[in-house]
Structure formats: C-alpha cells, structure tokens
C-alpha cells in the first residue's frame, strides 16, 4: 500500500469519525436538562417566556427533531459551530482565537515528554537492575501516579510563589509591551511551567514504554546476530536496538494524543493559559454548551490529525507496512 | 591433523535455581582445520551453550566456570571483551537456527552484510557494497542487485539463511559455527543449505562446527562427530565410525530411535473405506479492506483420497503444501469451499452446525504442539472427560474411562488430577492421544504429532501409536513433513505439493519407486539417505 | 495459587502498595465512626495550619471545615468511583472484546470500529462533556468514567482471545462438540484472566485520577466531599495556604501509587515470563 493511499484512507476514516462526533454532540445537547432555548436565555440573562419563544423560533427549536438534526449537521459542515451568548461571539471564532496557545502548549509538552521519556527510558534500560534503573523507574512511577492539576499547583507554589523563577499564570507579561524578538524569552518563561507539568505524566508513560521495549528488543535474535558480527555495543544499541524499540513508542505516542488534549484542560485552567482547554473550563462554569461542544469537536479533530501524523511517521520507520 | 581450535575442560555454570549446576562440563575437543565437526544432542544437552561460550554470547548469569579454548595462539575464554569482539565476525563467523528472526527487520540486507566490514574497519563504503554484492552472489541468492536493497521480510526462510551465511563469510573466518542452521527449514531447502555450507567450507578451507539434533544431517556433512548428553560429551570420533559402530549406549539409543527407511511390507487394503474425500477445495482469501489488494492462496486444490478402516494413511509434504489444511478441513476446523468429506456414508460438509457438533465425535485430532494442545487451567481428568460428557456419556462412566485411557497410553493414573504444566512434552502428547481415544472416534487425524519432540521421545510416542493402532484397529491419518516417520508408521502415503496430491500409493511403492518427480526430489533431499541405505 | 502468593509477596513494591491501599480502605470504611459529623460542617475557625490545634490534626480549610474529616470521607468517593467505574468498564469491554476476537469477521470489524471511535475521542474531554451535560452526580460521574475507560479493555481482551482461539486446545474443545459459548467462557476467557486482572487494577488508579480531575474542575457531586473538590476549593488561596491543596493531593498520589504498585506486582506474579508493561 502506498503512503498516499494510506493517508487518503485515514483521512476518509477521520471524516466519518468527526461526523459521528457531530451526531453525538447533537444528542448531547438534547440530553441536557432544559431545552437549549432556556439555557440560551439564561446565558443572555433574560428569562421571560416570550423571549424564550422567540429564541426557539429563531434557532428552529420548534421544528421536528430531524429538521433540527439536519440544520445542526449541515451547520457544522459549513464550519458553523453555533454562537456563544456568554462571550457574544461565534464559537468558531472563539476557538480559532484560542487554538494557537493550546497548540503551542501541547506540542511543546509532547516534544519534551517524548524526548525526556525516551532518553530516561534508554538510560534505565542500559542500567537494568542497578540503582540508576531503580531511581529512574521509581521517578516514572511517581509521575505516573500524580494528579496533573496538583503537580501544576505545587509547581506554582514552589517555582512562582516561593522561588519566584517563573510566572504563575498567563501567556505573556501583561502590559510589558514586548515586541518582536523580545517576546520570545518572555513567552518561554510563561510556557515553561505549564508545558513541564503537562509533560511529566506523559514522560513517565514514554519512559516506561521505552525501557520495557528496549529490554524486549535486546533479547531478540538479530541483536545476537549483530554481536556475532563483532559490532561494538554502542553501534548495536544505536542501530539495531533503538530503532526497533521505538516502534511501539511511536504507536503509544499516537494513542496518547487524546490524553494530552484532556490534560491541557487541567493545565490551562491552573495556569490561566488562554487556550481551548481554558475555554472549555470557562464554558463549563458558564453552562455555555455551544462552546463546550465546539471545543470538544475541535479537540477530537486535533487528536485525529495527530493520529494521522504518527501513522505516517510509523510507516516511514517500518518498511514492512 | 592440526587443530584450529582446542578446547580443554570447559565448564559453563548455570544461575542458582536451574535444574543443574553446569550447562556443560568436562568438555574437551579439537576442531581441526578444514573439517566439519558435528555436535549432536537432544534439547538440553548443552550443545548450543558450548558454541555461545566460544563466541562470548552466553546469556546473562550463565558463565564460563573454567576451561581453556586455544585459538590462533590465544586462550579465547581468557580474552578481554574488546579482544573477543574483534574475533567475532572476523576470525569466527556464526549462523543461527531461526532465519526469520535473526535479521534486523528494519535494515536492508546489503547494509546488514556491509556492516560486518564496518565493524572491523575494513574497506570504504563503496567497496563494502561491492563486497556485499559478491557475497550475495557467492551464497547463490537470486538477483543480487535487488536482494541488496531488500528487507528481510521480502525473503523466504532459505534466502534469509543464505544472507546469514553471507554475513558469516564476509571476512573469510577460520571457523564457522552453525547452530542448528537448517532445523527451521523445509527438507528441500535444508538440502540446499547443507550443500552450500559444504561447498563454501571446501572453497574457503574453513573449519565448521555444526550443531544439530539430526543424525541424518550428521551423516550428510560431518567429518567428525561429538555426541552430547546432559552437558557432557558421551562419545566422539570420525562420523563414519560413530554412525556405523556407536560405542556409547546413548548414541546407540539415539541412532535406534531414528525411524529407519526400511519399509514395512504392505498389506492389501481389503476393508471398506471409513473416510472418502472427494475433490476437496479451499482457497484462503485475505480481504485487504478498502485500499489493500485482496490476496488469495489456494491451500487445497481438488484433493481426493480414501482411508480404509484400520489403515494408516500418511500425508507428507513441505510447509505450505496444504497437508495440514486437508486435515483441518476434514474435521471442519477449516470450512472447505467445495468437495465432499464422506464418513461412513455421511457427508460431513453437508451437516448443519448443530448436527456437526454430535458428528464431530467421529473424527478426532492429535495436535502438534504439546504445550498448546492442553488448556493450562484444566486438570487432565477434565481434558479427557469434557468431550464424552458433552456427547452424553454419564460422568462416572467418562471418568472411569479416562483412568483406563491413561493406563493405555502408559501414564500413571494419578495424572488425572494434575495440571498440564506438570508434564513433559512427550507425556503431554500421550495425554493428547488419550483425549482423542476418549471420544471413541472412527478416525484419528494426527497433525505433525511427533514433530515437536526430541528424537528419543519421538520414537516412544511413535511406538505407542503403532501399538495402539494395531491393538484397537484404529484408522489413522498421519500428517507429517518427515518422510522417515511416515515410512515407519503408514500403510499408504500421499504426497502433497501446492495443495495438490501429486502421488498416492502403498509406502513401499511411493518411497522405493516414486512416480512423481517431486516425490523423487523430496526423497533425495532427506539428509543421510545414502548412509541409511548403506546400513540397511 | 501458592506460587502466586509467594511471587507476589516477594515483590517489595507490591507489598508497600498493598499496605497503603489497605490503610486507605480502612479509613474509608470507618469514616462514619472516625468522623461521624458531616465533613461539610464548619467546626473551627478557618485556616488552622496542620499540627497546630488538638483534635484538628490536619487543620481547617477556608471555611473552617476539618481537613482530616474531608480526607477520610473523600477516600470513600475515590474508592467507590474507582471500583464501580472499573467494573462497569469491564462489563462493557470484556464481552465486546471477547466476541470480537472470538467470532472475527464482521462482528470483529464492527466492534473494533466502535472501539476505535471511542478511543479517538479525547477521553477526559468526553468525560467533562458527559458529566457537565448530565449534571454531576455520583452515578453520572461513575458512568462517564466507565464510558471513557472501556476501549483499552476491549482491545486487550480481543488481542488475548485472538491469540488464544488459535491454540490447539481450543480446536480440541471444538472437536469434542462443545458449543461456541462454552468454548469461549470455559476455555478461552479463563486463560485471559491474568492480563485482565492486571489491567483492572491499573484502571482503578486511572479512574481515581479522572474522578479527582473532574471534581477539581467543579464537576464533582456537590453533596459529596472529595479530594479533587478540596484541592479545587483551596486553589484560590494557594499563595497563603498551600497545604490545603497539598494534603489531599498527597492522598490521591498515595492511593494511585499503591494501585500501580499492586498492578505491577500482579503482573510480575501472574505472568512470570512476560515482563511487558506497555499499555
């Protein structure tokens, strides 16, 4: 199967998945207690019967369910994710406004956790059974069991409140008026704690996977063949063990994408990072269901895009597919 | 004769808690220049450990306890790791048993060969490529320009083993260690690889240490032979000498255990057929899904034969010949596409699923893998009784029968209350036989039933099967890749290739006077044929 | 069985985990005896630091509620939600995976597409949406966590069943005339139990993390004290009273850690030859 055909196949599957999520969204809206018009009216701050009736007509909520369904789905297909009364903005605009911040955060956290996870995993495997291995795997176990939002809070306490090294919240220093290149160190300073706390859990996941995968591959016959050739241990590890051991890590990284986006909700909430995770939290407390479901759909789309990318990476590494 | 390698008093210690203290001990032998030395033994004899110790490739916690291995003026076992590494692949090459897993799946064949030069800092990259091409040609791989860029998964087992040989040969080593290099291969491929090793050994004047469990292979290529058991050498000498005049009891027992080619006198088939297979066909289609092409493999291509009551029919063929699929299609573990399987006048293929459940009793199977054929969580009694009880036999009767059957297959009746993991491979195979008999079937299909066993155990199980067949007048369909085993047990044999029956007839006729060319090739490929014919 | 106990008890981490978990379970079970009053009740002046006042070992929170009481009562929610949601997830995942693996073909295709769909949806986001829309109560939270947790179970069981059904003892059972259901439940699934048990113990841990994350975001049952809620409520005073967030977090960490340790111990004891730990 060629790469192009594979990508096309994945894209077709992605479209179907997204459509199913749209359908799920529609039913979720209708599963919510009270009809959407009442919720909207509540959001808009007016609750008299006449206004609600007017809203029902305006949004076709007095129409039969299948008409509403069609209106909703065709709306989403035209990238109309509805209107947020709370924020007085179309949901799509809101999300697009916030998306770059989330991409910056999640991709940084992902890159960091993958690099550190693989590096520590390799280090642990190389010291299998020795104290270095025990130290690294214990650390992984600890991060694996720590609630993400709590690590974030504790990082704020330690690095911002007590030590004052990094800012406790936000995306940039408000009112500092940094422009151009000056912006970069400021941004990085703000990015560091959120990315670190979001990445720690995933680093633990990749670390454990890398370690066990390396140990498993080390037992394989072709590694013995490589030794029989007289290759140096370093070369064997680099050329024969590492590449084969990383395949399952890539698969896992793809599967973890969804969790990364979920984790972003918590991290962004704690650090007041202006991304779609924070938006989700805001819409939650404001009972802004249109926005909530819009963010849900977009985050699913992000995960799918990420899965397609890992799929392509996997195909590039493994000649067998 | 001058020894290239001289081993004295080698002992290898196992980690504490193993079933014995030493993997091998008191090992002393010489490997002479230009000879092929076969090290023979059954599993657990320590034959591979010896080779791995020489290479410095022992697994963790397994260590050389004492001993000297003189090679090119130095004691290899005393060398530091870095020095040992320089010898590997350069002065000593090694090939392994499993060609399917011995190559890095993510690396091109050419790169894996060129890597040997790189490891020892020889030649420039373009030269390495040229040398790799030459090696690929020397080991007889087709289309070298294509092979050099191929990945292992694109090669067959035999081709991968050739690639392994090319790597081992790259720096023209003084010694080649071959650890069961043909065990995983089909008999015709095995013959080719043995030929190749022999040719290369002569051309390069190497000394070869060839590890095997198969005396047929010994007869085929060995100059000298060492027989090992439980980690010690029991006998060594010139191959001809040991084969024709074994001194040690164990060697004699091993040689006796090899099924001989002496063919039984055929008894004419007089009884009515218990099974008739007519024009059976099966094509496996793997639907590729939306974007993958569908692939189809014809496993059974119009096969017809019959088995008489009390007859043993052998089905022989190499892997992929469809012999196992025929067996599985008869019992409908695989649904045939078309054809009739008539058992006492009843077409098994026409039965509804409900009818089939009761009809299944009449054909039972003995399976290949003694470790997978018993449910690890159920006691033996359960394995022997479950089927009869499902078929309506009262529980106490089924249990009484189970104990009786354990005795028949020569197991302790106490075995009923134990779990499978408490038994050895051979014992489990006996339980498998008892399980088949418990259903009181009209026909038993044995699918490679002795292939996973060591040769001495194999002989015992075969003996039991033959005995039971005669005593109970069983009808048996015996599927095997091993021509010798077939010759020993069967009344008639059918030879399969690419899903077709190429030849069927009484054993003596098929083996002594084969009609089909494929049968002739197959027989010629069996290692050690000449030696056995000479001995008979 | 004895072998299993011996192997498990030889694992130091697993034993430590077991001790921690037992402590948490005992505290949860005896919560009504230890702290008979509602954990919501204001009992002292707010912001008492830990170890400063007799009778209030861990101090009081922003509204003067006893932190220790909250902790003990919160253990109940964590454990119940963790356990029940895992059971529900197993009830969905095990049959689905078993049928998919055992029958193959269209059933397998359908079941796996379904599973993949749920696996693609970011699971925490889905849990948030479900709880937010269905209103946060103990049953909806539990259900939401179960709904986002079952796909890995289905995949694991399917993979196990797929490999087990090719074993020769399954063929033998078929030849004995056993029905499909009997083969599946009598021969195949019992052999898939060890990895399922291991996964279940790790799932309880993940479920506890999910529950605490939800209640941290304010999606906990408003009538029930939980660890996540305690951290969330103390968030605004993190600068002045950091310990109010710190203490419940340690409780979560220890509980989840203990379950992970037990899971690893089970894994090593049940699959002595398999050292795989990937998920």
- CA distance readout (Å), A302 to A51, A295, A298, C121: 37, 10, 6, 10
The model's pLDDT over A146-173, given as tens digits with 9 standing for 90+, comes to: 999 999 888 888 888 888 788 877 777 7
- CA distance readout (Å), B72 to B91, B169, C87: 9, 18, 67
Strand pairing partners for B207?
A: B175
Does position B289 have pLDDT exceeding 60, yes or no?
no
Q: Which residues of C161-191 are buried (b: 16+ CB within 10 A; e: fewer)?
A: bbebbebbbbbbbbbbbbeeeebbebbbbeb
Asked if B216 and B526 count as a contact pair (C-beta separation under 8 A), the reply is yes
pLDDT at B1 (0 to 100): 59
Judged by a CB distance cut-off of 8 A, whether residue C229 touches chain A is no
Tell me the ipTM for this assembly. Answer: 0.86
User: Which residue does chain B place closest to C192, by CA atoms?
Assistant: B377
Question: Between these two residues, A285 and A269, which has the higher pLDDT value?
Answer: A269
Instruction: Tell if the CB–CB gap between C231 and A149 is shorter than 8 Å.
Output: yes
Instruction: Tell if the CB–CB gap between A293 and C242 is shorter than 8 Å.
Output: no
pLDDT at C40 (0 to 100): 77
Mean pLDDT of chain A: 85
Residues 204-223 of C with CB under 8 A from A: 205, 209, 212-213, 216-219
Judged by a CB distance cut-off of 8 A, whether residue A210 touches chain C is no
Q: Which domains, and CATH codes, for chain A?
A: 3-78 (no CATH), 92-317 (1.10.3720.10)
Q: What are the chain C neighbours of A124 within 8 Å (beta carbons)? A: none
Name the band, by pLDDT with cuts 50, 70 and 90, for residue A36.
low
Does position C276 have pLDDT exceeding 50, yes or no?
no
Does position C277 have pLDDT exceeding 50, yes or no?
no
User: Which residue does chain C place closest to A148, by CA atoms?
Assistant: C213
Asked if B95 and B160 count as a contact pair (C-beta separation under 8 A), the reply is no
Does position B386 have pLDDT exceeding 90, yes or no?
yes
Identify whether B230 is part of a domain: no
Token pair in block for residue A222: 């072709």
- Angle at which helices A183-218 and A243-271 cross, to 10°: 140
Tell if the pTM clears 0.80, that is, is over it. Answer: yes
- CA distance readout (Å), B415 to A85, B403, B464: 76, 9, 18
Nearest residue to B131 (alpha-carbon basis) of B88, B162, B86, B169: B169
Q: Dihedral sign, CA of A76, A80, A81, A82? A: negative
DSSP state string for B123-170: S-HHHHHHHHHHHHHHTT-S-HHHHTT--GGGS-HHHHHHHHHHHHHT
Name the band, by pLDDT with cuts 50, 70 and 90, for residue B267.
low
Nearest residue to C90 (alpha-carbon basis) of C157, C189, C180, C182: C157
Instruction: Tell if the CB–CB gap between C175 and B360 is shorter than 8 Å.
Output: yes
Strand pairing partners for B338?
A: B281
Name the band, by pLDDT with cuts 50, 70 and 90, for residue C169.
very high
Nearest residue to A270 (alpha-carbon basis) of A198, A158, A199, A169: A169
pLDDT at B108 (0 to 100): 93
Name the band, by pLDDT with cuts 50, 70 and 90, for residue B293.
low
Asked if A320 and A104 count as a contact pair (C-beta separation under 8 A), the reply is no
DSSP state string for B295-359: EEEEEEEEEEEEEETT-EEEEE--TTSSHHHHHHHHTTSS--SEEEEEETTEEGGG--HHHHHHH
CA–CA separation, A307 vs C262, rounded Å? 32
Query: Are β-strands B207-212 and B36-40 bridged in parallel, bridged antiparallel, or unpaired?
Result: parallel
Residue C12, exposed/middle/buried by CB under 10 A (0-12, 13-18, 19+)?
exposed
Poorest-pLDDT segment among B25-29, B131-135, C49-53, C78-82: C49-53
pLDDT at A44 (0 to 100): 62
Judged by a CB distance cut-off of 8 A, whether residue A169 touches chain C is no
Residues 153-212 of B with CB under 8 A from A: 153, 164, 167-168
Token pair in block for residue A183: 């912006």
Give the residue-averaged pLDDT of C142-148.
95
Judged by a CB distance cut-off of 8 A, whether residue C179 touches chain B is yes
CA–CA separation, A102 vs A306, rounded Å? 14
Q: What are the chain C neighbours of A29 within 8 Å (beta carbons)? A: 133
Residues 148-177 of C with CB under 8 A from B: 167-169, 171-177
Nearest residue to B484 (alpha-carbon basis) of B520, B529, B433: B529
Does position B536 have pLDDT exceeding 70, yes or no?
no
Instruction: Tell if the CB–CB gap between A270 and C235 is shorter than 8 Å.
Output: yes
Of A21, A157, A303, the CB nearest to C242: A157
pLDDT at C279 (0 to 100): 29
User: Which residue does chain B place closest to C194, by CA atoms?
Assistant: B377
* Best of B353, B375, B441, B449 to mutate (most C CBs within 10 Å, chain C): B375
Question: Between these two residues, A194 and C35, which has the higher pLDDT value?
Answer: A194
Identify whether B496 is part of a domain: yes
Instruction: Tell if the CB–CB gap between B290 and A319 is shorter than 8 Å.
Output: no
Where do the domains of chain C lie? 26-31+64-273
Give the residue-averaged pLDDT of B413-428.
90
**Domain range spanning residue B459?**
297-526
User: Which residue does chain A place closest to B95, by CA atoms?
Assistant: A225
Name the band, by pLDDT with cuts 50, 70 and 90, for residue B262.
low
Instruction: Tell if the CB–CB gap between B387 and C187 is shorter than 8 Å.
Output: no
Identify whether B448 is part of a domain: yes
| SS3 of B233-298 | EEEEEEHHHHHHCCCCHHHHHHHHHCCCCCCCCCCCCCCCEEEEEEEEEEEEEECCCCCCCCEEEE
Instruction: Tell if the CB–CB gap between C125 and A265 is shorter than 8 Å.
Output: yes
Does position B437 have pLDDT exceeding 90, yes or no?
yes
Judged by a CB distance cut-off of 8 A, whether residue C3 touches chain B is no
Q: Which residues of C17-51 are buried (b: 16+ CB within 10 A; e: fewer)?
A: bbebbeebeebbeebeeebeeebeeebeeebbebe
Judged by a CB distance cut-off of 8 A, whether residue A230 touches chain B is yes
Question: Between these two residues, C242 and C19, which has the higher pLDDT value?
Answer: C19
CA–CA separation, B443 vs B506, rounded Å? 19
What's the first-to-final CA gap in chain A, in angstroms?
7
CA–CA separation, B377 vs B368, rounded Å? 19
What is the side-by-side strand order in the sheet with B500-506? B363-366, B443-447, B476-480, B312-316, B492-497, B500-506
Question: Between these two residues, A286 and B89, which has the higher pLDDT value?
Answer: B89
CB atoms within 10 A of CB B511: 22
The model's pLDDT over B54-106, given as tens digits with 9 standing for 90+, comes to: 998 888 889 999 999 999 989 999 999 899 999 999 999 999 988 889 999 99
CA–CA separation, A255 vs C273, rounded Å? 26
Give the residue-averaged pLDDT of B250-273.
74
Name the band, by pLDDT with cuts 50, 70 and 90, for residue B269.
low
Mean pLDDT of chain C: 87
Identify whether B514 is part of a domain: yes
CA C267 and chain centroid, separation: 16
Which ranges of chain C would DSSP assign to H, the alpha helix? 2-9, 12-29, 31-34, 67-103, 105-120, 123-134, 138-165, 168-175, 180-183, 189-216, 227-234, 243-270
CA–CA separation, B485 vs B482, rounded Å? 5
Poorest-pLDDT segment among B394-408, C13-27, C65-79: C65-79
Poorest-pLDDT segment among A6-10, B357-361, C220-224: A6-10
CA A146 and chain centroid, separation: 18
The angle subtended at Cα A72 by Cα A66 and Cα A76, nearest 5°, is: 145
SS3 A83: strand
C182 to chain A nearest CA, in Å?
A: 34
User: Which residue does chain A place closest to C151, by CA atoms?
Assistant: A255
What lies within 8 Å, CB to CB, of B321 at 6+ separation is B496, B497, B498, B499
CB atoms within 10 A of CB C16: 15
The model's pLDDT over B499-532, given as tens digits with 9 standing for 90+, comes to: 999 999 998 888 888 999 999 999 888 887 766 5
CA–CA separation, C258 vs C202, rounded Å? 10
Of A144, A149, A292, the CB nearest to C213: A149
CA–CA separation, B495 vs B502, rounded Å? 6
What is the count of structural domains for chain B? 1
Nearest residue to B310 (alpha-carbon basis) of B472, B494, B509: B472
SS3 B509: helix
Nearest residue to B431 (alpha-carbon basis) of C187, C172, C183, C192: C172
pLDDT at C57 (0 to 100): 75
Residue B39, exposed/middle/buried by CB under 10 A (0-12, 13-18, 19+)?
buried
Tell me the percentage of chain C whose pLDDT exceeds 70: 96
CA–CA separation, A12 vs A7, rounded Å? 9
User: Which residue does chain A place closest to B92, by CA atoms?
Assistant: A228
Four-CA torsion A157, A159, A161, A162, nearest 10 degrees: 100
A69 to chain C nearest CA, in Å?
A: 18
Place of tokens 């918590």: A266
Asked if B461 and B429 count as a contact pair (C-beta separation under 8 A), the reply is yes
Of C117, C124, C239, the CB nearest to A259: C124
Place of tokens 């087992």: B157
| SS3 of B357-392 | HHHHHHEEEECCCCCCCCCCCCCHHHHHHHHHHHCC
Of A8, A222, A228, the CB nearest to B88: A228
Place of tokens 């699971």: C123
Q: What CATH number should be reported for the domain holding residue B383? A: 3.40.50.300
Architecture of the C26-31+64-273 domain: Orthogonal Bundle (1.10)
Four-CA torsion B188, B194, B195, B200, nearest 10 degrees: 150
What's the first-to-final CA gap in chain B, in angstroms?
32
Q: How many CA atoms lie within 13 A of A53 on its CB side?
A: 3
Judged by a CB distance cut-off of 8 A, whether residue C247 touches chain A is no
3-state percent breakdown (helix, strand, coil) of chain A, nearest 5: 80, 0, 20
DSSP state string for C87-152: HHHHHHHHHHHHHHHHH-HHHHHHHHHHHHHHHHS-HHHHHHHHHHHH---HHHHHHHHHHHHHHH
Name the band, by pLDDT with cuts 50, 70 and 90, for residue A40.
low
Strand pairing partners for B22?
A: B13
Q: What are the chain B neighbours of C175 within 8 Å (beta carbons)? A: 331, 333, 360, 363-365, 387, 439
pLDDT at B281 (0 to 100): 94
Instruction: Tell if the CB–CB gap between C169 and B386 is shorter than 8 Å.
Output: no
């Amino acid at each position: 199967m060629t790469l192009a055909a594979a990508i096309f196949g994945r894209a077709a599957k992605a479209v179907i998945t997204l459509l199913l999520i749209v359908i799920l969204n529609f039913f979720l809206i209708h599963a919510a207690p009270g009809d959407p018009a009442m919720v909207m009216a509540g959001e808009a701050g007016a609750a008299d019967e006449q206004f609600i009736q007017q809203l029902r007509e305006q949004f076709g909520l007095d129409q039969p369910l299948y008409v509403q369904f069609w209106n909703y789905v065709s709306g989403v297909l035209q990238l109309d994710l509805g209107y947020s009364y709370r924020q007085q903005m179309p949901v799509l605009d809101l999300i697009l406004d916030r998306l770059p911040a989330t991409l910056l955060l999640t991709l940084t956290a992902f890159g960091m956790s993958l690099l550190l996870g693989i590096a520590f995993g390799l280090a642990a495997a190389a010291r299998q059974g020795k104290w270095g291995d025990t130290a690294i795997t214990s650390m992984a176990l600890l991060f694996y069991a720590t609630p993400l939002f709590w690590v974030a809070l504790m990082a704020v306490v330690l690095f911002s409140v007590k030590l004052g090294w990094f800012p406790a919240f936000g995306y940039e220093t408000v009112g500092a008026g940094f422009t151009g290149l000056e912006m970069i160190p400021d941004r990085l300073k703000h990015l560091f704690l959120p990315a670190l706390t979001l990445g720690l859990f995933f680093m633990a996941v990749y670390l454990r996977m890398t370690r066990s995968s390396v140990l498993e591959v080390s037992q394989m016959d072709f590694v013995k063949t490589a030794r029989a050739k007289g290759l140096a241990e370093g070369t064997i590890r680099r050329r024969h063990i590492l590449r084969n051991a990383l395949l399952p890590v890539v698969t896992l990284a793809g599967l973890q994408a969804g969790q990364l986006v979920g984790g972003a909700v918590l991290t962004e909430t704690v650090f007041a990072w202006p991304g779609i995770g924070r938006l989700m939290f805001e819409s939650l407390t404001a009972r802004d269901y249109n926005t909530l479901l819009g963010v849900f759909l977009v985050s699913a789309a992000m995960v799918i895009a990420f899965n397609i990318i890992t799929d392509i990476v996997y195909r590039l590494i493994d000649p067998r597919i | 004769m001058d020894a290239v390698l001289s081993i004295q008093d080698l002992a290898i210690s196992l980690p504490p808690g193993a079933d014995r203290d030493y993997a091998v001990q008191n090992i002393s032998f010489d490997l002479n220049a230009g000879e092929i030395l076969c090290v023979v033994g059954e599993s657990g004899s320590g034959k591979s450990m010896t080779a791995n110790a020489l290479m410095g490739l022992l697994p963790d916690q397994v260590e050389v306890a004492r001993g000297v291995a003189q090679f090119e003026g130095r004691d290899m076992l005393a060398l530091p790791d870095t020095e040992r590494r320089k010898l590997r692949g350069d002065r000593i090459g090694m090939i392994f048993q499993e060609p399917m897993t011995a190559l890095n799946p993510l690396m091109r064949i050419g790169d894996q060969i060129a890597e040997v030069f790189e490891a020892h800092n020889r030649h420039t990259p373009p030269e390495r490529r040229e040398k790799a091409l030459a090696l690929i040609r020397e080991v007889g791989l087709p289309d070298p320009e294509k092979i050099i860029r191929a990945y292992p998964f694109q090669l067959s087992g035999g081709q991968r083993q050739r690639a392994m040989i090319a790597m081992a040969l790259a720096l023209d080593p003084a010694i080649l260690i071959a650890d069961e290099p043909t065990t995983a291969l089909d008999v015709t491929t095995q013959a080719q690889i043995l030929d190749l090793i022999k040719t290369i050994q002569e051309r390069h004047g190497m000394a070869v240490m060839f590890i095997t469990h198969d005396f047929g292979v010994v007869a085929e290529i060995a100059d000298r032979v060492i027989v090992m058991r439980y980690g010690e050498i029991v006998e060594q000498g010139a191959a001809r000498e040991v084969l024709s005049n074994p001194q040690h009891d164990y060697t004699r027992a091993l040689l006796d255990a090899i099924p001989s080619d002496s063919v039984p006198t055929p008894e004419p088939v007089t009884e009515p057929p218990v099974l008739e297979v007519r024009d059976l066909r099966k094509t496996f289609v793997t639907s590729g899904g939306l974007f993958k092409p569908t692939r189809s493999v014809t496993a059974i291509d119009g096969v017809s034969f019959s088995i008489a009551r009390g007859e043993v029919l052998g089905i022989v063929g190499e892997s992929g010949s469809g012999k196992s699929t025929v067996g599985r299609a008869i019992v409908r573990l695989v649904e045939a596409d078309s054809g009739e399987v008539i058992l006492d006048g009843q077409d098994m293929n026409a039965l509804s699923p409900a009818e089939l459940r009761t009809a299944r009793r009449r054909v039972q199977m003995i399976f290949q893998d003694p470790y997978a054929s018993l449910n690890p969580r159920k006691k033996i009694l359960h394995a022997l009784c479950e089927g009869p009880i499902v078929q309506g036999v009262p529980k106490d009767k089924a249990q009484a029968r189970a104990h009786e059957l354990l005795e028949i297959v020569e197991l302790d009746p106490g075995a009923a209350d134990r779990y499978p993991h408490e038994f050895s491979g051979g014992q489990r195979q006996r339980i498998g036989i008892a399980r088949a008999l418990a259903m009181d079937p009209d026909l038993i299909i044995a699918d490679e039933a002795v292939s996973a066993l060591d040769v001495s155990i194999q002989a015992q199980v075969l003996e039991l099967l033959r005995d039971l067949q005669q005593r109970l007048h069983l009808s048996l369909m015996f599927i095997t890749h091993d021509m010798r085993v077939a010759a020993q047990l069967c009344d008639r044999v059918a030879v399969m290739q690419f899903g077709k029956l190429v030849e069927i007839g009484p054993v003596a006729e098929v083996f002594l006077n084969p009609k089909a060319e494929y049968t002739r090739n197959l027989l010629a490929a069996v290692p050690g044929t000449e030696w056995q014919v000479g001995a008979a | 069985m004895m072998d299993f106990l011996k192997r498990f008890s030889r694992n130091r981490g697993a034993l430590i985990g077991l001790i921690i978990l037992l402590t948490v379970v005992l505290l949860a079970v005896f919560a009504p005896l230890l702290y008979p009053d509602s954990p919501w009740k204001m009992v002292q002046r707010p912001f008492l630091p830990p170890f400063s006042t007799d009778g209030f070992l861990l101090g009081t929170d922003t509204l003067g509620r006893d932190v220790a009481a909250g902790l003990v009562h919160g253990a109940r929610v964590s454990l119940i939600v963790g356990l029940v949601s895992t059971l529900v997830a197993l009830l969905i995942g095990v049959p689905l995976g078993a049928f998919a693996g055992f029958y193959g073909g269209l059933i397998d295709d359908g079941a796996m597409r379904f599973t993949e769909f749920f696996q693609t949806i970011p699971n925490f986001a889905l849990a948030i949406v479900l709880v937010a829309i269905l209103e946060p109560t103990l049953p909806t939270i539990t259900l939401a966590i179960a709904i986002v947790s079952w796909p890995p179970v289905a995949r694991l069981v399917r993979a196990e069943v797929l490999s087990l059904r090719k074993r020769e003892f399954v063929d033998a059972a078929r030849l004995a005339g056993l029905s499909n259901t009997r083969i599946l439940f009598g021969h195949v699934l019992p052999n898939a139990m060890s990895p399922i048990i291991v996964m279940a113990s790790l799932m309880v841990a993940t479920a506890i993390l999910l529950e605490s994350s939800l209640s941290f975001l304010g999606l906990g049952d408003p009538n029930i004290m939980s660890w996540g809620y305690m951290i969330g409520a103390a968030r605004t005073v993190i600068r002045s009273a950091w310990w109010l967030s710190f203490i419940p977090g340690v409780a979560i960490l220890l509980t989840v850690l203990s379950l992970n340790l037990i899971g690893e111990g089970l894994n090593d004891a049940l699959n002595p030859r398999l050292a795989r730990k990937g998920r």
